[in-house]
Structure 1
Amino acid sequence: MGLFYVDGYNTVKFLLNLSNKYIFMKRVLITGAAGFLGSHLSDRFIKEGYHVIGMDNLITGSMDNIEHLMPLKEFEFHHHDVSKYVYVAGDLDYILHFASPASPIDYLQIPIQTLKVGSLGTHNLLGLARSKKARMLIASTSEVYGDPLVHPQNEDYWGNVNPIGPRGVYDEAKRFQEAITMAYHTFHGLETRIIRIFNTYGPRMRLDDGRALPAFIGQALQGKDLTVFGDGSQTRSFCYVDDLVEGIYRLLMSDYAHPVNIGNPDEISIKDFAEEIIKLTGTDQKIIYKDLPKDDPKQRKPDITRAKEMLGWEPKVSRAEGLKITYEYFKNYLAKKSAQEAQV
Structure 2
Amino acid sequence: MTIGTWAGRTVLVTGALGFIGSHFVERLAAEGATVIGLHRTDRPLIRTELTALAGDRLRLVRVDLGDQHETRAAFRYLAPHIDAVFHCAALDGNAQYKREHSAEILDANVRTTAHLLNCAREFEVDDVLLLSSSEVYCVPGTSPASEDEDVRRSPQYTQNGYVLSKIFGEILADHHQRQFATRAFRIRPGNVYGPRDSAAGAHNRVIPSMVARAAAGEEIEIWGDGSQTRSFIHVADLVRCALQVVGTGKYEVVNVGSAEEVSILELARLVAEALGVPSRVRTDPDRPAGAAVRRLELARMREVIDFEPRSLRAGLEDTVRWYRRNERPQP
What TM-score do the two structures reach when normalised by structure 2?
0.86
Equivalent residue, structure 1, for 2:299 = 305
* 1:54-75 C-alpha deviation (Å, 9 max, x unpaired): 11111xx623212233472211
> Residues of 2 paired with 1:214 and 1:240: CA distance?
13
> Residues of 2 paired with 1:292 and 1:182: CA distance?
39
Choose from 310, 315, 318 the match for 1:322.
315
Structure 1 residues 255, 28: CA separation in 2 closer, same or farther (over 3 Å shift)?
A: same
Equivalent residue, structure 2, for 1:130 = 121
Equivalent residue, structure 2, for 1:99 = 89
Of 72-81 and 280-289, more deviation after overlay is shown by 280-289
Choose from 256, 260, 274 the match for 1:262.
256
* Residues 45 and 52 in structure 1, CA contact (< 8 A), matched pair in contact too: yes
> Residues of 2 paired with 1:286 and 1:279: CA distance?
11
Instruction: Determine whether 1:65 maps to 2:57.
Output: no
* Residues 129 and 186 in structure 2, CA contact (< 8 A), matched pair in contact too: yes
Higher RCO structure (Cα 8 Å, ≥6 apart): 2
Instruction: Determine whether 1:241 maps to 2:235.
Output: yes
Equivalent residue, structure 2, for 1:332 = 325
Structure 1 residues 295, 234: CA separation in 2 closer, same or farther (over 3 Å shift)?
A: closer
Query: Which secondary structure state, in structure 1, belongs to the residue aligned with residue 56 of structure 2?
Result: coil
> Residues of 1 paired with 2:179 and 2:16: CA distance?
29
Query: Which secondary structure state, in structure 1, belongs to the residue aligned with residue 132 of structure 2?
Result: strand
- 2:176 counterpart letter in structure 1: Y
Choose from 225, 232, 246 the match for 2:226.
232
* Residues 55 and 80 in structure 1, CA contact (< 8 A), matched pair in contact too: yes
TM-superposed CA distance for 1:175, in Å, is 0.2
Of 311-320 and 247-256, more deviation after overlay is shown by 311-320
Equivalent residue, structure 2, for 1:279 = 273
> Residues of 1 paired with 2:65 and 2:181: CA distance?
23
> Residues of 2 paired with 1:109 and 1:219: CA distance?
24
Q: Which runs of 5+ in 2 are unaligned?
A: 1-6
Total equivalences in the alignment: 310
Structure 1 residues 69, 326: CA separation in 2 closer, same or farther (over 3 Å shift)?
A: closer
* Residues 99 and 117 in structure 1, CA contact (< 8 A), matched pair in contact too: no
Structure 1 residues 315, 108: CA separation in 2 closer, same or farther (over 3 Å shift)?
A: farther
Equivalent residue, structure 1, for 2:206 = 212
Identity of aligned residues (%): 26
- 2:252 counterpart letter in structure 1: H
* Residues 144 and 171 in structure 1, CA contact (< 8 A), matched pair in contact too: yes
* Residues 147 and 295 in structure 1, CA contact (< 8 A), matched pair in contact too: no
* Residues 146 and 297 in structure 1, CA contact (< 8 A), matched pair in contact too: no
Choose from 35, 49, 74 the match for 2:57.
74
Instruction: Determine whether 1:30 maps to 2:13.
Output: yes
- 2:272 counterpart letter in structure 1: I
1:160-199 matches, within 5 Å, as 163-165=157-159, 168-199=160-191
- 2:164 counterpart letter in structure 1: E
* Residues 40 and 63 in structure 2, CA contact (< 8 A), matched pair in contact too: yes
Of 295-304 and 200-209, more deviation after overlay is shown by 295-304
What TM-score do the two structures reach when normalised by structure 1?
0.83
> Residues of 1 paired with 2:305 and 2:298: CA distance?
10
The alignment's C-alpha RMSD in Å is 2.2
> Residues of 1 paired with 2:239 and 2:13: CA distance?
13
Equivalent residue, structure 2, for 1:50 = 33
Equivalent residue, structure 2, for 1:117 = 108
> Residues of 1 paired with 2:286 and 2:138: CA distance?
15
Question: Which has the larger Rg?
Answer: 1
Equivalent residue, structure 2, for 1:5 = none
Query: Which secondary structure state, in structure 1, belongs to the residue aligned with residue 49 of structure 2?
Result: coil
Q: Which runs of 5+ in 1 are unaligned?
A: 1-23, 340-344
* Residues 91 and 109 in structure 2, CA contact (< 8 A), matched pair in contact too: no
